[in-house]
Structure 1
């Protein structure tokens, strides 16, 4: 077809779409297609018989009776997609959203079935492109999981430039109209050493009110571009209906560029998300005839309650996968020691042996040798990544002798790697055929380049230098760090964003290969602290570094934030201890670790007997409270900090075990804190143990825990039954 004819065809299709849709809301008929009880959730599908559009409603089963019919509200399609060549959406959309294009308009309902608890809905366009939407639920989970697949059943090559993992519309179904001034969007903001701050805004503040004619596509997309999926936001959102007392929460699971979107054109809000699209993430994907592509998994839930409750339901969805791959040494959540804040990148045989001998009697199970063990005698360790050869000067008897010394003290030795990188001082920095490229050049960030994790030669090299080194030298723990981002992506026949997606697939495949070859190894996930705290990484590792705020007063604030995104049993929190610290500071640090996994570092071999007594008391309480830390529900209160670097007021996290028989209250005071505070308790509780400096008292009265004697920057933990 020549260009004038092609232009006429596009114009004709556009005129037809405008005529069908008009400038306002298309009045749709809606009939129930099916309804499914999935745990305590009710999943209902609706179909418009005129357009064949199918949508999905999610509600707490106990509140299904309160759902009302919405006015001026289009049915949200099950799948949002955009194929190259199809007409872009109207409503001033380009650059703001790719939703509701001609691709979506052409989808027609084919059928629905249920297989082994999975609800499968199929849509198809006139050319034979199929969209298969699957919803399932893990046993015991308070959530559902959504997977969307595109199958090219046509005889032509098609190119995706946007595909949702999930869409959810008609929010809120508990109000017939706009639900003005009652809907809150909650998001988790993240930056280095300040992860997980809750950001809450009304839809009105976000500009998500429908226009008088319902013709403008009002949308906000928030996204992360690159290989650090938790760098600006967590891929988590919650919408709270404050009038109905119901909250919906959604989470994307993958580890590369992603986007979430809140869209409103009429009285109903729609949430959708998936891979960052062509506009946000430079992503396109070609499918030849007969090929298929599946978008990354998404997790959805709804509950009677607020964002705190809803997000913790998302966290619990990870538990079965996490527990299934935990090595035996992880079952009781032991204490970790990492020597980075002890030697600051200069570990050696003598120091390892000294530290291991001193720690043996204090209850640590893992001893991790961090960065610097491979340092070049001249160039140092910071830019010497990629060769992974132990420094003979630091370890004259070999790195195995250090691992053996740790095991001789009854601990499991661990070793740090940044295995996806090459540093400029390493020979591998020049192996261009094995490195990621963009614009025909290696992707270079500062002094780092990136291995191509889908290159068989790279995988073979890393199996020898990483897995082989671990096996040959008796290490039972690996800390995998990641301190740069690939950005918009890397060369791939389809797009830069697709190259990035495949790179992260290769990385996660290598993580699994480590586990396959060393079944009982403990894998720690770290990315400049907490930049990879997403389910696809969390579910294949034992634990994660919660942040890099290791010696900062904001540790308990960040650790509390992460109860909305990470199982506390996986959230490794450091207590960096030094002999010059006061006992008050020791208690502050140790109490912070009760919000997750306890990891010690610092000058532990130089602590006084009095300091060690405070540490040992903390470790003993940590072990006692471990079942509640592992399996419980957290409530947070006190003062919401405005500045993390200049904390004021106080906070508490009250975590109650799932059985309700025990609870742990972790409390921290900041600048200007009150001398006495109260924490509401659930149930009839009594104090079993108080962890605090001398001068602090605690008692239970009138259903609350009262703590008195506080000064600025105190840390307290109270175990109750």
Structure 2
């Protein structure tokens, strides 16, 4: 047994050199002894399956029991330290194939989170074909407490879809069809994604909760493509397995010749006890540790983008100039010209050249970007660099091996080809585009969109479809890294039809992420309230788009959507009444002077003890640090004007509550110091407030 950063780990090596992970938690539980020898063999460090090998266990669709995984013999472990903390690497060898498997655990000082990945090296003469390899495997995830599994264990799943991102739902295991004490279940609770939109149905994370002991385990899979996790079990053993793509679910396999190696997709696992806020706090701190260091995540500049409920991809010089004026007047610091700047008319399937349209900008787009700079804002442009439209003038002279292929044919999705970033010529083409935007047009901000899902992958020069996709994804990330090295102050927003790629392969590079394309501001509130569970709050870009026809409450609701995260301002602000425009300016000024400096140092909290969904009439989330708490509260159409918020961690203390935005508006409150309950009352419908709490 050893302890690191508040985590307790118990490992056992048998006389046959089988290494077993008996315990991994933030609680120092006793050793988990399993008398059943068959079940004991599932206390693995790693699951690994090769083509042509037996699967010796009763498994059904579960990804367990494969060979050579269950033949691996422990050789050694190595400890070292780096800038993050301790790294432990376990070396295992299959004596039959001479394949070495190294399981890596990276710890982070002061955080109850590890990053895990697996390395497979073929030291043998014969080629091997990996069909599945886990990045992390842990059995006995339900041993704390005394209640039966189905009475205490819950799982939170982050359902997501276009314009409906991050809608968490909480389930018992039985509600998902998994029952206790099965001899060998063929049922699994699992999450999977196949394709290039990593969060198109589920975000690549989840949270397991033990209601009896208030224990939480959260995980995320860090891949901008396909991934897989599963929970299942044998009798009293319940396990969690995390991985990138595999053959059965994602059409991925990988061949390794002699001395070739493969690194699995990295994953992160966080542990905590208390509330869901606590485990998300651990994960938030980890996300900040692994993220590229950049000024934007400290400064949190205010961005105006002309798309949402505004120009909707139809920009011209005539339309842009008055919007630039009002964005500057409101206090915005970046101005992004969104889609359409490169085409005179319908542009969807003609993209690819990324040259400005003189029909839209008769004097050149530099006239507009220069005007943006004259208003003391930094200009930005929309880009979708990973695709080329099937009607693009470049298609006929573009080598066909620039594109994804399946079955000998280029893959087409929604009128676009997918560029293959494994190809050095594609990377050079993309380099030239970025260089032109930055050095010729003076762009300091790029909205990098991605509006197709290319499916399982490409079989051109790849072992499998999934292999082609994974290697492309990794090549794209390496290309992205080079852009940030070349242009360290360039801000590149990650966007995929809103939030269809909310993953920490991309978010460890990009300083901010579009959270949704939701056009209804009332629904945007729920997405915003949950956004900091999926990413750090300083990376969560949320639209605020006051409508041309609306009332004062509509403006306040809209602005509150973004005030504790990243402001993506839009809307026809010049057409608002003076009173409503004043509320926009007040919100942005409040953000710049009172709020944004504390966001990168704060952790998310959920005072309603639940995530938001569209059906609720109240939403709330907040950001807390050692000195203060900011709380956003949205009210739609509830029967009562009162809502109770839980701050039990402040029980026994007195607080000062003040209204941050909109200043001077009505509210009442009562504080119950004994229980830590805060009751707030506000009048009206479809309105919102932002409060600040300071402990006396």
TM-score (norm 1): 0.89
Deviates most, 406-415 or 694-703: 694-703
Q: Determine if contact 2:22/2:32 at 8 Å carries over to the other structure.
A: no
Q: Which of residues 628, 633, 636 in structure 1 aligns to 2:606?
A: 636
The equivalent position to 1:348 in structure 2, one of 310, 316, 328, is 316
Label 1:106 to 1:516 Cα distance change in 2 as closer, same or farther (>3 A).
Answer: same
- 2:282 aligns with one of 310, 313, 336: 313
> What is the rounded CA distance, in whole Å, between the counterparts of 2:106 and 2:579 in structure 1?
54
After superposition, residues 114-129 of structure 1 pair within 5 angstroms as: 114-116=79-81, 117-126=86-95, 127-129=97-99
SS at match of 1:357: helix
CA distance in 2, matches of 1:140, 1:467: 40
Task: Kindly indicate whether residue 31 of structure 2 is the aligned counterpart of residue 64 of structure 1.
Answer: no
Aligned to 1:194: 164
2:380·2:444 contact (CA, 8 Å) conserved in 1?
Answer: yes
Q: Which residue of 1 aligns with 2:684?
A: 711
Q: Distance in 2 between matches of 1:240 and 1:292?
A: 36
SS in 2 for 1:483: coil
Partner of 1:448: 416
Structure 2 residue runs of 5 or longer lacking an equivalent are none
2:149 matched to which residue of 1? Answer: 179
**Aligned-pair Cα RMSD in Å:** 2.2
Change (3 A) 1:255 1:604: same
User: 1:16 — aligned with what?
Assistant: none
CA change 1:202–1:269 in 2 (3 A) is same
2:48 matched to 1:106? no
CA deviation string 1:417-454 (max 9, x = no partner): 01101113212344323211111111101211111111
**Separation of aligned partners in 2, 1:65 and 1:118:** 23
CA distance in 2, matches of 1:665, 1:307: 17
Q: What is the TM-score when the length of structure 2 is the normalising length?
A: 0.92
Q: What is the distance in 1 between the residues matched to 2:16 and 2:77?
A: 18
**1:663 paired residue among 623, 629, 634:** 629
Pick one of 82, 86, 108 that aligns with 2:49.
82
Query: Does residue 38 in structure 1 map to residue 30 in structure 2?
Result: no
- Shift of the alpha carbon at 1:137? 1.6
Equivalent residue number for residue 175 of structure 2: 205
Change (3 A) 1:67 1:207: farther
- Inter-partner Cα distance in structure 1 for 2:245 and 2:265: 11
Which among 305, 310, 323 is matched to residue 338 of structure 1? Answer: 305
Distance 1:582 1:235, change over 3 A: same
Q: Does the C-alpha gap of structure 1 residues 493 and 690 become closer, same or farther in structure 2, counting only changes over 3 Å? A: closer
1:22-58 deviations in Å (ceiling 9; x for gaps): xxxxxxxxxxxxx332212223322333461322521
* Equivalent in 147, 150, 159 of residue 120 of structure 2: 150
Match of 1:505 in 2: 474
Task: Work out the CA distance in 1 between the residues paired with 2:22 and 2:329.
Answer: 57
C-alpha displacement at 1:81, in angstroms?
Answer: 0.9
Using the TM superposition, give the Cα deviation of residue 67 of structure 1 relative to its aligned residue in structure 2, in angstroms: 6.4
For 2:608 and 2:147, the matched residues in 1 are separated by 35
Equivalent residues of 1:239, 1:307 under 8 A apart? no
Q: Residue 134 of structure 2 aligns to a residue in which SS?
A: strand
| In structure 2, C-alpha distance between the alignment counterparts of 1:678 and 1:306, rounded to whole Å | 17
SS in 1 for 2:334: strand
Following superposition, the deviation at residue 716 of structure 1 comes to 1.1
Which residue does the alignment assign to 2:243? 274
Structure 1 residue 279, shift from structure 2 partner: 0.8
Contact 1:662 1:720 in 2 (8 A): yes
On the 8 A contact 1:690/1:698 being kept in 2, the answer is no
The number of aligned residues is: 674
* 1:362-399 CA-partner distances (Å, limit 9, x unpaired): 22111001001001x3x522222111010012222222
Which moves more between the two structures, 219-228 or 536-545?
Answer: 219-228
What SS does the aligned partner of 2:179 have?
A: coil
**1:622: Cα distance to partner?**
2.0
Q: Does 1:371 align with 2:344?
A: no
Q: Does 1:296 align with 2:265?
A: yes
> Residues 639 and 557 of structure 1: is their aligned pair in 2 closer, same or farther, counting only changes over 3 Å?
farther
- Alpha-carbon distance between aligned partners in 2 of 1:450 and 1:274, rounded to the nearest angstrom: 25
Contact 2:564 2:595 (8 Å CA) reproduced: no
Alpha-carbon deviation of 1:629?
3.0
Say whether residues 1:360 and 2:328 are aligned partners: yes
Q: Deviations over 1:616-665 (max 9, x none)?
A: 22123323122343332333244969972xx34212213222x1x21111
- The answer as to whether partners of 1:58 and 1:302 remain within 8 angstroms in 2 is no
Superposed counterparts of 1:293-692, under 5 Å: 293-322=262-291, 324-327=292-295, 329-341=296-308, 342-375=310-343, 377=344, 379-430=345-396, 431=398, 432-491=400-459, 492-623=461-592, 624-638=594-608, 644=614, 647-657=615-625, 659=626, 661-681=627-647, 682=650, 683-692=653-662
Displacement of 1:251:
1.4
Q: 1:134 to 1:643 in 2, by over 3 A?
A: closer
Question: Following TM superposition, by how much is the alpha carbon of 1:692 offset from its aligned partner in structure 2, in angstroms?
Answer: 4.0
Change beyond 3 A, Cα 1:407–1:713: same
Q: What CA distance in whole angstroms lies between the structure 2 residues aligned with 1:45 and 1:480? A: 45
User: Does the aligned pair in 2 maintain the 1:229–1:534 contact within 8 Å?
Assistant: yes
* Displacement after TM superposition at 1:275 (Å): 1.5
Conserved? CA contact 2:20–2:45, under 8 Å: yes
Paired residues of 1:625 and 1:719 also in contact (CA < 8 A): no
Q: C-alpha offsets along residues 148-200 of structure 1, whole Å, 9 cap, x if unaligned?
A: 10010111100000011111111223257953411112221111111112222
User: Aligned partners of 2:680, 2:213: CA distance in 1, in Å?
Assistant: 35
Identify which of 197, 202, 220 aligns with 1:251.
220
CA 1:640 to 1:564, structure 2 compared with 1: closer, same or farther past 3 Å? closer
Deviations 1:210-251 (A, max 9, x none): 555x24444233201100111111111222222222111221
Gaps of 5+ in 1: 1-34
Task: Return the offset for 1:695.
Answer: 5.9
632 and 70 in structure 1: CA distance in 2 versus 1, 3 angstrom threshold? farther
Three-state SS of the structure 2 residue aligned to 1:541 is coil
Most deviating of 194-203 and 256-265: 194-203
Following the alignment from structure 1 to structure 2, what is the Cα–Cα distance between the partners of residues 455 and 607?
A: 49
| Alpha-carbon distance in 1 for matches of 2:636, 2:339 | 32
Shift of 1:349: 2.3
CA distance in 1, matches of 2:409, 2:519: 36
| Secondary structure, counterpart of 1:554 in structure 2 | helix
Give the whole-Å Cα distance in 1 for the aligned partners of 2:617 and 2:121: 55
Q: Assess, with a 3 A threshold, how the Cα gap between structure 1 residues 307 and 689 changes in structure 2: closer, same or farther.
A: closer
1:51-82 CA-partner distances (Å, limit 9, x unpaired): 6132252111xx30566646655252101110
CA distance in 1, matches of 2:155, 2:51: 32
Give the stretch that moved more between structures: 42-51 or 449-458: 42-51
